[in-house]
Amino acid sequence: MTTDLSVLQLVLDASIPVQLVMLLLLAVSLASWTMIFLKRSALKGARRSADEFEQRFWSGNDLTALYNQVTRRQEMSGLEAIFEAGFKEFVRLRKQSGAEPMAVLEGAQRSMRVALGREVDALEVHLSFLATVGSTSPYVGLFGTVWGIMNSFRSLGNVHQATLAMVAPGIAEALIATAMGLFAAIPAVIAYNGFANDVERLHNRYDAFLEEFSTILQRQAHS
């Protein structure tokens, strides 16, 4: 309890620039943790949605019936959005008189590529923020540390004999800024690496489905 109070006192006694650095790092850390939980939930939902859709898609149901089921949903995402974009464009182009099978297939593939890009962009939301927090927070904390140590040594210019007890509080409050910078950076880096890997795996999964669905559409276009 004494240690907690002493740390709190050091923070309260710190200079205004160091306190501002600590406040900034605290706010960044809270925002980072909020985004970590939100992104974790979003990626978990994306994987679950992909599993459910693939199970329905490969169950042998008619594509038109599956399309009708998908379009009845309020919001589509992931594989559903890619499937809906591709099949909708495929049906539209196929109804045109004199449409070449390859032109129909290429049009459906372009629509799916556009939908794929939107879905990957949605998965990557907030990742850049986590990367920025992970790379810059230690330097922000280091700035507070340098400022605090600089003030400690400046205060020694007016004394004839310096002692450790005179500089220890200033150096301690300065090092707290570095600790807070690392506290904000380390979870952000770990989360970013994990989420980036999850997004890449989902991207590959979406891309593989696009190719497999294109093969099915190619057979239907030539039938």
**Residue 168 is encoded by which pair of tokens?**
């220890």
Residue-level pLDDT at 3: 41
Q: Is the dihedral of CA 25, 31, 32, 33 positive or negative?
A: positive
Report how far residue 65's alpha carbon sits from residue 63's, in angstroms, rounded to the nearest whole number.
5
Closest among 97, 101, 64, 88 to 223, alpha carbons compared: 101
- The answer, as to whether pTM is greater than 0.75, is yes
Residue-level pLDDT at 5: 42
Residue-level pLDDT at 161: 64
Residue-level pLDDT at 210: 93
Report how far residue 165's alpha carbon sits from residue 145's, in angstroms, rounded to the nearest whole number.
18
Closest among 23, 21, 26, 38 to 191, alpha carbons compared: 38
Report how far residue 137's alpha carbon sits from residue 142's, in angstroms, rounded to the nearest whole number.
8
Report how far residue 131's alpha carbon sits from residue 24's, in angstroms, rounded to the nearest whole number.
17
Q: Are 108 and 14 in contact (CB under 8 A)?
A: no
Query: 123-132, pLDDT tens digit by residue?
Result: 998 899 999 9
Please give the average pLDDT of every successive group of 10 residues along the chain, which has 223 residues.
53 75 90 94 93 88 86 84 91 81 89 94 92 92 82 67 63 81 93 95 93 88 70
Residue-level pLDDT at 4: 44
Report how far residue 109's alpha carbon sits from residue 87's, in angstroms, rounded to the nearest whole number.
9
Q: Are 156 and 162 in contact (CB under 8 A)?
A: yes
Q: Is 73 left (phi over 0), alpha (psi -120 to 50) or beta?
A: beta
